[in-house]
Structure 1
Amino acid sequence: MKVGLVAHAGREASLQAAGDAARTLADLDVEVVATAGDADDDPRIEGVTSVPADSFADGLDIAICFGGDGTFLRAAHLCRDPQVPVLGVNLGRLGFLAEVELDDVGPALRAVAEGRWKLEPRATIEVEVTGPDGQQLGSGWALNEVAVEKTERQRLLLMDVHIDGTLFAKVPADALIVATATGSTAYALSAGGPIVSPHLSAVLVVPVAPHSLFDRTFVAAPHETVRVDLLPDQAVALVSCDGREPVAAGPGSYVTARGDGRPVQLARVGVTDFPTLVRRKFGLR
């Protein structure tokens, strides 16, 4: 058994929890490696061999991350393509992606050491950004959402939104979010989008502060292509996947997104269902 640890390098509590987990796993005869951060001078997890990000997933049976949903997303981007399952320990605020709370780490680590976890595949969005001359400006994928955002505070972002080649709406807004069902409880929720069960195959198109009478979320099928055209005579927009490095897209550029990308494999060691999770996170009765 080989386990990889990912911790939020800027939070001492995350590094400490990861170090404690590493010692527990070592006592259970589990090999442990880690990657704590992207920079060479990032703090490391005490007593654990650190490996470069591009080789982190090599030979892993499972990855465990310590932090909030941002840390989970980083682990997911390290582990999606090699199909290494990811288990999250929540040290953030809401933490919809991270299943395990800090008080429950001990039993979760024993379950991992014994190979007792279930896989829960979560679809991703494949994204391409194309310039007005047809040149590809960037590509990537998102587990939560793709965000197309304005760069000038005083001006709106003017967009034409197409669904599978058909113009759906002209959207003047601060931003536009294309989210998975998994990402419905992230940026899309804060913009007024619905909470969607992650077991539903769907893509949400959510305008952010739209300046129009129509401000509803459109729900597309995963195989339908969502295309966002950036209209002429406006400032450059920024396109980002899961809040990672943005791509600048000028007027005349367009973004295409499909929700049938290769899934991220979530590891589950408990039995908490999604409605219960939502109820607990929001304190519903």
Structure 2
Amino acid sequence: MTDVLTPGREPHVLGLVIHPRNDVSESVATVTRAARRHGARVVARPADAARLGDGVSAVDDREFVERVDTVISLGGDGTMLGAMRLMAGRQTPVLGVCHGNLGFLIEVSPAQLPTALDDLAGGRFRLEPHSCLEVTGGTGLPGPTPAFNDLVVAADRPSKTATVDLEINHVRHGYYRCDAVIACTATGSTAYNYAAGGPVISPSIPAIGLTPVAPMSGIGRALVLGGEDTVALCNPSEHRTLRMSLDGATGGRLEPRGRVTLRLRQNVVNVVRFDPDALGCRNRVRLSLLDLPLRPDQLLELVPDHLRERARRLRHAPAAP
């Protein structure tokens, strides 16, 4: 919201993307109060605006993408990923506020939102660029489609295995026979890829990860490919259709003899960050709870200083009579 009150400038437009079910009304009220204070306008797409009441205007998807100056995502990582896909290819800042179960991508809690909005208005933030997989091909996708976490190819029915051929830079490299094949970005390497035993990829590396889920034959290990590589996942079957999901949401199909192509696109969307170190520390704690091999003393290093000091005082406090 920087410079929203500059004479002659159009009002800053805040766009809300919200969780489909969770109650986000308190955060919406916080945003609309801040918008009135700074002379900004708040908009949402029609389905979301219908839930948000006064102070939020409804605009169609196209106007939303073209007009908003800042996007605020109120939900979990799924909602955040949806907001990022919506704004892919633009420099529009995207701020996440955690109203979901997870928040690896999200730095701000609802309680921190008033301060975050003041910092946003004052220009006290950084932009963190995120890369995506550009997914082309298959059926049911609206042209090239971004996936910021992952693309998953699986059988079209539960309890069935998927057979998927792999091509790298137009050269065939064998096949997978498994429950699913995960192609991920570095950001997505800590999501389904991590749960399936794939490697955690540093966000400083432009790379594509490929991990089979419960492989039965063919390629059985995870691969990490360079950011310039072109990957194709092909359905060799004459009869069976495979299903695809992007970031756990957007669906599509891989028809018999069909193929889907993946390329890494860098710096596709900008995420607002106020304290990247605090977010990184919090995510290290979450990953540690998922059984990363850390000793107790290393886990202690992840505990914030004020909590460690509180624990030290409690240990040394005199016992009650």
| Same fold per superposition (TM over 0.5) | yes
Aligned equivalent of 2:79: 71
Q: Per the alignment, do residues 262 and 241 of structure 1 end up closer, same or farther by CA in structure 2, a change over 3 Å counting?
A: farther
**Cα distance in 1, alignment partners of residues 267 and 192 from structure 2:** 21
Aligned equivalent of 1:281: 286
Does the 8 Å contact 1:6/1:36 carry over to 2?
no
Tell me which amino acid in the other structure corresponds to 1:33: V
Give 1:36 shift. Answer: 6.8
Match of 1:8 among 13, 19, 32: 19
Aligned equivalent of 1:120: 128
Give 1:163 shift. Answer: 1.6
Aligned equivalent of 2:94: 86
CA deviations over 1:23-57 (Å, ceiling 9, x no partner): 1332233332223746x8x5235421122222113
After TM superposition, the structure 1 stretch with the greater mean CA deviation from structure 2, 178-187 or 210-219, is 210-219
Q: 1:1-285 to 2 correspondence within 5 Å?
A: 1=4, 2=12, 3-12=14-23, 14-35=24-45, 37=47, 42-130=50-138, 138-212=143-217, 214-260=219-265, 263-272=268-277, 275-282=280-287, 284=289, 285=299
Normalising by structure 2, report the TM-score.
0.78
Does the 8 Å contact 2:181/2:212 carry over to 1?
yes
CA deviations over 1:168-216 (Å, ceiling 9, x no partner): 3311011111111111122222222222232321111111221138532
After TM superposition, the structure 1 stretch with the greater mean CA deviation from structure 2, 214-223 or 106-115, is 214-223
**Cα distance in 1, alignment partners of residues 160 and 51 from structure 2:** 40
Q: Per the alignment, do residues 182 and 56 of structure 1 end up closer, same or farther by CA in structure 2, a change over 3 Å counting?
A: same
- Structure (1 or 2) with the greater helix fraction: 2
User: What residue ranges of structure 2 are gaps of 5+ in the alignment?
Assistant: 5-11, 290-298, 300-321
Does the 8 Å contact 1:161/1:229 carry over to 2?
yes
Give 1:273 shift. Answer: 5.6
Tell me which amino acid in the other structure corresponds to 1:63: V
Root-mean-square deviation (CA, aligned residues, Å) is 2.4
Give 1:278 shift. Answer: 2.0
Tell me which amino acid in the other structure corresponds to 2:33: R
Does the 8 Å contact 1:137/1:249 carry over to 2?
no
Does the 8 Å contact 1:227/1:256 carry over to 2?
yes
- Structure (1 or 2) with the greater strand fraction: 1
Give 1:233 shift. Answer: 4.2
**Cα distance in 2, alignment partners of residues 129 and 143 from structure 1:** 17
Tell me which amino acid in the other structure corresponds to 1:73: L
Q: Per the alignment, do residues 118 and 9 of structure 1 end up closer, same or farther by CA in structure 2, a change over 3 Å counting?
A: same
Q: Per the alignment, do residues 47 and 275 of structure 1 end up closer, same or farther by CA in structure 2, a change over 3 Å counting?
A: closer
SS at structure 1 position matched to 2:32:
helix
Does the 8 Å contact 1:54/1:78 carry over to 2?
no
Does the 8 Å contact 2:88/2:146 carry over to 1?
no
User: What residue ranges of structure 1 are gaps of 5+ in the alignment?
Assistant: none
**Cα distance in 2, alignment partners of residues 45 and 208 from structure 1:** 44
Does the 8 Å contact 1:9/1:43 carry over to 2?
no
Give 1:262 shift. Answer: 5.6
Q: Per the alignment, do residues 275 and 111 of structure 1 end up closer, same or farther by CA in structure 2, a change over 3 Å counting?
A: closer
Does the 8 Å contact 2:162/2:179 carry over to 1?
yes
**Cα distance in 1, alignment partners of residues 46 and 19 from structure 2:** 7
Larger Rg belongs to: 2
After TM superposition, the structure 1 stretch with the greater mean CA deviation from structure 2, 275-284 or 105-114, is 275-284
Does the 8 Å contact 1:8/1:37 carry over to 2?
no
SS at structure 2 position matched to 1:197:
coil
Q: Per the alignment, do residues 184 and 45 of structure 1 end up closer, same or farther by CA in structure 2, a change over 3 Å counting?
A: farther
**Cα distance in 1, alignment partners of residues 238 and 263 from structure 2:** 27
Tell me which amino acid in the other structure corresponds to 2:145: G
Residue correspondences, number:
278
SS at structure 2 position matched to 1:216:
coil
